[in-house]
Amino acid sequence: MSMSTVDAPMGRGDRTSRWVPRGDRPAWARAIALAVIVSAGVALAGCSRKEPQPEPVRAVKLLTVGAAPLHAQLEYSAEVRARVESRLGFRVPGKIVERQAELGQHVKAGQLLAQLDARDYQLSAQAAQAQVNAARTQRDLAAADVQRYSKLKEQSFISGAELERREASLKAAQASLDQAQAQLASQGNQASYTRLVADVSGVVTGIDAEPGQVVAAGTPVVRIAQDGPRDAVFSVPEDKVAQLRTGQEVTVRPWAEGAPLKGTVREVAASADPVTRTFLVKVAIEGAQVPPLGATVYVEPGALGREGIQALTLPTTALRQEGGQTAVWVYDAASGSVRSQVVRIATADGNQAVIADGLQPGMQVVATGVHVLSPGQKVTVYQPRSASPQETAAPGASAASAN
Domain range summary for the chain, segments of one domain joined by +: 60-70+308-402, 77-82+226-304, 118-192
Mean pLDDT taken over the chain: 81
- Tell me what the mean pLDDT of segment 82-102 comes to: 93
* H or E stretch at 39: helix 27-47
3-state secondary structure at position 59 = strand
Q: Judge: domain 118-192, CATH 1.10.287.
A: yes
Q: Are 145 and 153 in contact (CB under 8 A)?
A: no
What CATH number labels 60-70+308-402?
Answer: 2.40.420.20
The pLDDT of residue 239? 86
**What are the tens digits of pLDDT across the range 202-257?**
999 999 999 999 999 999 999 999 988 999 999 999 988 888 889 998 989 888 77
The pLDDT of residue 57? 77
What is the reported pTM?
Answer: 0.54
CA distance 365 to 339: 9
Query: Is the per-residue pLDDT at 47 higher than 70?
Result: no
In our burial notation (b when 16+ CB lie closer than 10 A, e otherwise), range 164-199 reads eebbebbeebbebbeebbebbeebbebbebbebbbe
CA distance 296 to 173: 67
The CATH class given to the 77-82+226-304 domain equals mainly beta
The pLDDT of residue 48? 54
The pLDDT of residue 273? 92
3-state secondary structure at position 144 = helix
